[in-house]
Amino acid sequence: MTDDICGATNRHGEPCQQPAGWGTDHVGKGRCKLHGGNAGAPADNQNASKHGLNADLHHYYRDLPPEQKEFIEKIAATIEDRVRENTGTVDYMDRVLSKQVAIQLHISSKASAYIEKESGLVQDVPARGSTRKEAAPLLEEVRRYDDSIFRNLKKLGVLDDPDSQKADALESWRDFIEKSYDS
């Protein structure tokens, strides 16, 4: 394939003679639109994101509307304040981890809302002539995601009682976040 033509093998077994990148946003380079020059989405495309659990944190944050970014910044600042209360100082890694946790909390709330709205908390599973109720598969994924948030909060020393049960910690943390968001 030369740089000035598409060069893909056409249906006659010969190199396509269209200009390189013809009909694409990369005119002059690569294949023409007839031979896959427009195929695929950009590597950081978040358009198909439903619940965000698998999202890259940086790209997820970058693509949020300004009001949601502001909410995340407030949560990160609140976490930093909590770290400062417990340790007396906040270093670079504390700031990075605080922002990551704030983004993860946003993703977790988005995933929870998605479950409640779209997939439901339970599903009917056929079982020998009847059906039984089971937790929706995405719920377990959200629980694992939340566990990673708790690990990060423990690293930061933010939770009041790191040895407490996760359920108690989750409730106190959600209350803490809601109080922070209201103020």
Determine phi and psi for 132, rounding to 5 degrees.
Answer: -130, 155
Tell me the pLDDT tens digit for each residue of 40-78: 666 555 555 666 777 788 888 888 889 999 999 999 999
Residue 68, number of CB atoms within 10 A of its CB: 13
Residue 176 scores a pLDDT above 80: no
Within 75-137, strands assigned E span 122-127, 130-135
Can you give the pLDDT at residue 76?
Answer: 92
Helix (H) or strand (E) holding 153: helix 137-156
Alpha-carbon distance of 54 to 144, in angstroms, equals 12
Alpha-carbon distance of 66 to 46, in angstroms, equals 16
Please name the residues in contact with 105: beta carbons below 8 A apart, sequence gap of 6 or more.
75, 149, 177
Q: How many residues does the chain have?
A: 183
Residue 180 scores a pLDDT above 80: no
Can you give the pLDDT at residue 99?
Answer: 92
Can you give the pLDDT at residue 43?
Answer: 56
The amino acid that residue 37 corresponds to is G
SS3 (DSSP) at 21:
coil
Can you give the pLDDT at residue 33?
Answer: 86
Alpha-carbon distance of 129 to 152, in angstroms, equals 45
> Which residue in 174, 114, 175 sits closest to 146, CA to CA?
174
For the entire predicted model, the pTM comes to: 0.57
